[in-house]
Chain A
């Protein structure tokens, strides 16, 4: 295997592709957490998105319906979480964990008949440019539309939170729901919206896996990516741009260590497999050391139940 320049370009392209589900799920969860809601059901919502996307694709043979349907299924399952935590005031952590367990079980049951069915090819954009430009071609072109969306999302999220009125409202609710409520903001409604948005992004992240990244349905195919996304949000100290950096590092080292294993480096395989987790945490901890910034970015009311006085 030669490490020429075009190979590195292809490598970077594949790293980008592998980070997409993490970016999508983490960006969605980031908005949810910024409103003060801790939803540990990311993994469950992703896997539901994966199976419903794949099933809809098989049934309707329409990728657009499949993608939209996966997001809708994420919304529906997060609605359960929203209803329990916001309307019935249940504990966020327990409810989120239950959601994940429920999602994994439900997806396995729904997916029984879809195991072994081959997926459909997902259209890629600018495929001619990919071949014709060395190095930059495979990095910039020849990806699905979902990937372009995923890479724009952290910047959009950042803009939303910092520059728009609605973003300000979300941050205010996460900072102090009681004050927000006394200012006439409908805290429950804002939190519901953030939860549902998070659900939609997790659903899309799941569909990316089953429709684009590895186009097929395998039971438990999210394989812990939801948990990684959750951890990314925390280690990136609720900053969307750092989530992007973290996801790329995680994706990058995952791919690189696979190549290292293939080449036959004399490093124990277990250590190589652990490397992505280790490096992501180390890098994110190092770039987010400013305790002042952490304080300002951390949603103060995260995970706390909000009860409106009557």
Chain B
């Protein structure tokens, strides 16, 4: 039976922000629909409304002309609306089967049979009796999809499903989604990746600042046209010129980096060796959870590993803590802006003061030199075009992009010789990403070096001079980036080998 989903005049207002402004859309089964927009455009709010997690201030949802009252996730379930969230809604410590059985109404035996049927039909291979925390991101997503399929959904909503997947996993996902679509499931695909829209979807709705700004057939669209609709202005293209200077000095050299942990949530690192030259950007690719966290913490000095040698500007720094490493002109930008890089409850200038040096005189005789820190902070805000000049503002009120600019600014204003960053543009919108990328390229142009640990292949190919892939705690050989293609990276990130 054909499915027809209609959203009519949905509005949702949060204090100080209109998340959805009179949104009306119509979807019919047999097609894959894209909902495209930057972060904060209101996509997530809309899907949360459709899945009953939050309720709209205004507006109605119709499924086959029946007015749905979606007051809780249960209502969405009852009406056969399935949802795969961007941040998985799984119970990490429970087994796959327990995760799937938690809201099932049938007994375990017949449920297991039905799950096995689905696994077979769509060619998924997942062990049902291991805890979810042992699964890769791709497998976790499959568990989420199976959970939806068990309820034979009419509508399947996917919220940014590829943000944690490899190229291969993405392809597999697309094949599955096309199959679901052929079987009559209406698919709504939420993303900010333009290429995915063009390769997968039939129709695309673009959202900006809570409003639907365009609905069109994807065959009439190109990457550029969609990007301009999404951002609302023309974006400058940035391109880096590759540094092919073979005889430059090595500024940073890591030897025999090993890390062993008892914690099942952590990855062991096995004998990593690499070096970075002056003015170079070394990219480290990989799917999250393959040891990037541990690598970043070891490079920044949060974890000290025995028998590792780290030479930086001809000095052995392997035993130094992060503060001491900073004194040697290293700088760090961790993945998690909120909990690792900045303290959201503190004011901007207080966050700036966290990164203090002997030379910066932020503190005198144990007292805070507020005037000095504020001057310094103002300079960061203006130099790195953070969207405020109020240094008294609490950092939690900055958007992700502005917070990242502030953090990078704090790290870069001391003119470090080496910047190590981990997913610097994670979760940011196109405008902010562009700015961060420009900044990172500028660093290399000034003969300073960077190590870019990232899960975003496109970003790595754009910014790196050389690229290596980390998989299950092991590093692939380091390749010049002109020899690397997204396909090659995808194979290595999935544990395969090339040549």
Interface residue tally for chain B (C-beta within 8 Å): 28
Contacts known (A176-B92, A295-B265); A182 close to B53, Cβ less than 8 A: yes
Report yes or no: B73 in contact with A181, Cβ–Cβ below 8 A. Answer: yes
Known: A172-B94, A183-B89, A183-B102. 19 other contacts (CB 8 A): A168-B98, A171-B91, A171-B98, A172-B91, A175-B91, A175-B92, A175-B93, A176-B89, A178-B89, A179-B90, A180-B91, A181-B73, A183-B73, A183-B103, A184-B103, A291-B262, A291-B263, A295-B265, A300-B92
Q: What separation, in Å, do the CA atoms of A172 and B145 have in the docked complex? A: 19
Residues in A with CB closer than 8 Å to B264 are 291-292, 295
A310: Cβ under 8 A from any B Cβ:
yes
Q: What separation, in Å, do the CA atoms of A171 and B91 have in the docked complex? A: 9
Report yes or no: B51 in contact with A171, Cβ–Cβ below 8 A. Answer: no
Report yes or no: A172 in contact with B92, Cβ–Cβ below 8 A. Answer: no
A241: Cβ under 8 A from any B Cβ:
no
Residues in A with CB closer than 8 Å to B88 are 179
Residues in A with CB closer than 8 Å to B55 are 310
A245: Cβ under 8 A from any B Cβ:
no
Report yes or no: A300 in contact with B73, Cβ–Cβ below 8 A. Answer: no
Residues of chain B from 225 to 271 with CB closer than 8 A to chain A in the complex: 262-265
Residues in B with CB closer than 8 Å to A180 are 91
Residues of chain B from 53 to 88 with CB closer than 8 A to chain A in the complex: 53-55, 72-74, 77, 83, 85, 88
Report yes or no: B89 in contact with A179, Cβ–Cβ below 8 A. Answer: yes
Closest 6 pairs (CB-CB, A-B): A184-B74, A179-B89, A175-B91, A184-B73, A291-B262, A182-B89
Report yes or no: B54 in contact with A310, Cβ–Cβ below 8 A. Answer: yes
Q: What separation, in Å, do the CA atoms of A291 and B121 have in the docked complex? A: 37
Report yes or no: A171 in contact with B89, Cβ–Cβ below 8 A. Answer: no
Residues of chain B from 33 to 48 with CB closer than 8 A to chain A in the complex: 48
Residues in B with CB closer than 8 Å to A310 are 54-55
Query: Which one of A168, A295, A309 contacts B94 once the chains associate, using CB atoms below 8 Å?
Result: A168
Q: What separation, in Å, do the CA atoms of A168 and B99 have in the docked complex? A: 9
Listed in ascending order, the chain B residues whose CB lies under 8 Å from chain A are 48, 51, 53-55, 72-74, 77, 83, 85, 88-94, 98, 101-103, 131, 133, 262-265
**Number of A-B residue pairs with CB-CB distance less than 8 Å in the complex they form:** 68
Residues in B with CB closer than 8 Å to A178 are 89
Report yes or no: A168 in contact with B93, Cβ–Cβ below 8 A. Answer: no
A193: Cβ under 8 A from any B Cβ:
no
Residues in A with CB closer than 8 Å to B91 are 171-172, 175-176, 179-180
Q: 15 pairs across A/B with beta carbons < 8 Å?
A: A165-B102, A168-B102, A171-B93, A175-B91, A175-B94, A176-B91, A178-B89, A179-B89, A182-B89, A184-B73, A184-B103, A291-B262, A309-B48, A309-B54, A310-B54
A296: Cβ under 8 A from any B Cβ:
yes
Contacts known (A168-B94, A175-B94, A182-B51); A295 close to B73, Cβ less than 8 A: no
Residues in A with CB closer than 8 Å to B263 are 291, 295
Among residues of A, the one whose C-beta sits closest to the C-beta of B85 is A182
Residues in A with CB closer than 8 Å to B77 are 184
A169: Cβ under 8 A from any B Cβ:
yes
Q: What separation, in Å, do the CA atoms of A295 and B264 have in the docked complex? A: 8
